[in-house]
Structure 1
Amino acid sequence: MNLLKRLFVSLLGLVLFTCGNPQRQNVSKAKVNIVSNNVNIDYTDTGSGDTTLLFVHGWAINKTYWADQVKHFGSRYRVITIDLPGYGQSDKNREEFNTRAFGADVKNVINQLKLKKVVLIGHSMAGDIILQGAIDAPENVIALVGVDNFKSAGVAPTGDTSKAKKEYAEAIAAMKKNFKKFAFEWFNQLLFFKTTSKAIRERILNDVAHTDSTVAIKSLAWDDFNEGDQLLKAKKMLYLINSDYQPTDTTGLSAKKIPFKLFKVHATGHFPMVEKPDEFNKQLDKVMADLKKR
């Protein structure tokens, strides 16, 4: 279970561990209509090059949160940002909004845009999504970049799982009863940091308030997606660009011999790409430099 879901249930006192060559930027290209599981996926497509950076947003937000990264990297790489089905400008006329369904969407984006050397970059809940996408499209994906996620990947679960599931169900019930109230408390208490600006807080909370609550709740459904096992299955280099407001426990990754590198963005909340975009971009530049050496 990823960090976002663990923070979600912690509101009820739960502690759960399951969890490029330079190119011109605006190269003219024909817009491909991407359809996945009968749902249209909205996206941006900037720049060109052998390597593609494919950005996937987190829970209750959208592709616009990558605007600073598009600007920074679009002159050197092909940069794709997508709205997951049910979010942003993508359609939502389907029933499945879980890790495996979203992972299939990532694979379909890769296939329909004919992408070959793809670095998948996923924020928050999208860490598991890009991992599933890499498993589904192994020949196309060259690396994974998690953004403030995989913070205890590979660490063995502790405590009573049945109790955890019960408390999780109670949290979902509370969200169904008053989505906005519960979500706002969650973000304000656990996802923002003291340095998170008022403007960014207001932007995020506005997007949360206007997200489709049915889709958002389905996206948080309990699953048994084991990040450690799935990372072993994917066999991809894992880069982590994590905020340090919550520590990252890498003991599970090391124990399972999963190749990884951790880069930290200091003193931000859960959204480093918008809270400190320049620092975030520097860390992602380091990721790309390391990839070139491999």
Structure 2
Amino acid sequence: MKLFYYSAAFCLCLAVFACNNPQPKNTNAVNDDKAITTNLVSNNVRIDYTDTGSGDTSLLFVHGWCINKTYWEKQVAYFGKRYRVVTIDLPGFGKSGKNRKDWSTAAYGQDIKNVIAQLKLKNVILVGHSMAGDIILQGAVDAPQNVLALVGVDNFKSVGIASKDSVKDKKEYDESIGAMKKNFKAVAFDWFNKQLFYKTTPKSIRDRILNDVAQADSTIAIAALAWDSNFSESNELMKLKKKLYLINSDYVPNDTTGLVKKNIPYKLFIVHDTGHFPMIEKPEDFNRQLNNVIADIKRQ
């Protein structure tokens, strides 16, 4: 069974709720050092991106569900002074195109592979938030020769931990998705407010996130949540044979017993007292932990 880590809470929260109730102009950043003007296209869909800095190491940041590349602005400003830093809007979100039907993990993994190839990125550290954890994992499996390591951001919190009642979970999940199809904004807001924000999450950040969720294409957003029973995080991580780095909040416990049991190499870094969005809730703490990750990678 595959879902990003908060799926069980998502199912429960939405199930309760259900019972109770022209393309934009290309704004790709031009890097002064390299003057890159690549028109990124993957599976006939244009991908909007920024490309900042230079160096022998590339950081590719991938956002989570219903948000966009601007959530990495603090990381671009900080790490772009020492590395080549690329951020993308996943197809279907932000300023990227929407002209396709496939919003699966496999399709998004191909997008990551295509971005790496078209921008000629070398020594890539993939950083993926929320659902993008599985996306960067798939991308790394598709293009392993270019990837140094994976960095999950508040995800992979229970890899290899099988559900005790996967049939029940699947039924609740399907019911929850049905509720979201009927009232996307209300159900999504309920989910974020009850499960993804923490008591310390500032109102300005809550409002920003909820506004982006409200502006998302609901058909694409729901499709991106699709239950992909063929994708196994633990199997793909073992296949990749690279260390997994995690920069996670601790408002939801991190259960690494599955990683240990599967002999998957990992290292966990914590950003304390934030909700699901540590890179914007505590950017300085997040950047410090990512610095630690990069230092560990370079020691390998």
Same fold (TM over 0.5): yes
Q: What per-residue deviation string (whole Å, max 9, x for no partner) do you get for residues 184-215 of structure 1? A: 00000000000000100000000000000000
Paired position in structure 2 for 1:10? 12
Could you tell which deviates more after superposition, 228-237 or 202-211? 228-237
Within a 5 Å distance, the mapping from 1:25-174 to structure 2 comes to: 26-159=32-165, 161-174=166-179
Partner-residue secondary structure (3-state), 1:139: helix
**Offset, 1:5:** 3.1
Kept in 2, the 8 Å contact 1:172–1:217? The answer is yes
- Pick from 174, 196, 205 the counterpart of residue 200 of structure 1: 205
Aligned partner letter, 1:169: D
Q: How far off its partner does 1:222 sit?
A: 0.9
Note if contact 2:243-2:266 (Cα within 8 Å) is conserved in structure 1.
yes
2:186 to 154, 162, 181: 181
Ranges in structure 1 where 5+ consecutive residues have no aligned partner = 15-24
Compute the RMSD of aligned alpha carbons. Answer: 1.2
* Contact 2:14/2:191 (8 A) holds in 1: no
Q: 1:130 to 1:186 in 2, by over 3 A?
A: same
Match in the other structure for 1:232:
238
* Equivalent position of 1:267 in the other structure: 273
What amino acid is the match of 2:171? K
Partner SS, residue 3 of structure 1: coil
User: SS of the residue aligned with 2:59?
Assistant: strand
For 1:9, the aligned partner's letter is C
Answer whether contact 1:53 1:80 (CA < 8 A) is retained.
yes
Inter-partner Cα distance in structure 2 for 1:55 and 1:63: 8
1:6 deviation in Å?
3.2
Counterpart AA for 1:6: A
SS at match of 2:144: coil
Match of 1:21 in 2: none
Q: What is the SS of the residue equivalent to 1:155?
A: coil
Q: Aligned partner of 2:135: which letter?
A: I
The aligned residue for residue 23 of structure 2 is: none
Report the Cα offset of residue 146 of structure 1: 0.1
TM-score, L = length of structure 2:
0.92
- The answer on whether the counterparts of 2:14 and 2:187 sit within 8 Å (CA) in structure 1 is no
Q: 3-state SS of the aligned residue for 2:145?
A: coil
**Residue 237 of structure 1: CA displacement?**
1.2
CA distance in 1, matches of 2:67, 2:91: 12
Cα offset, 1:13, TM superposition: 6.3
Which residue is equivalent to 1:19?
Answer: none
* Cα separation, 2, equivalents of 1:34 and 1:7: 36
Structure 1 residues 216 and 12 mapped into 2: Cα distance closer, same or farther (>3 Å)? closer
In structure 2, list runs of 5 or more residues that go unmatched: 17-30
Aligned residue for 2:58, secondary structure, equals strand
Aligned residues: 283
How far apart are the structure 1 equivalents of 2:201 and 2:92? 27
Deviation at 1:3, TM superposition (A): 1.4
Q: Conserved in 2, the CA contact under 8 Å of 1:4 and 1:125?
A: no
Structure 1 ranges of 4+ moved more than 4 A? none
Which stretch shows the higher mean deviation, 108-117 or 4-13?
4-13
Distance in 1, Cα, partners of 2:145 & 2:293: 20
User: How far apart are the structure 1 equivalents of 2:274 and 2:32?
Assistant: 31
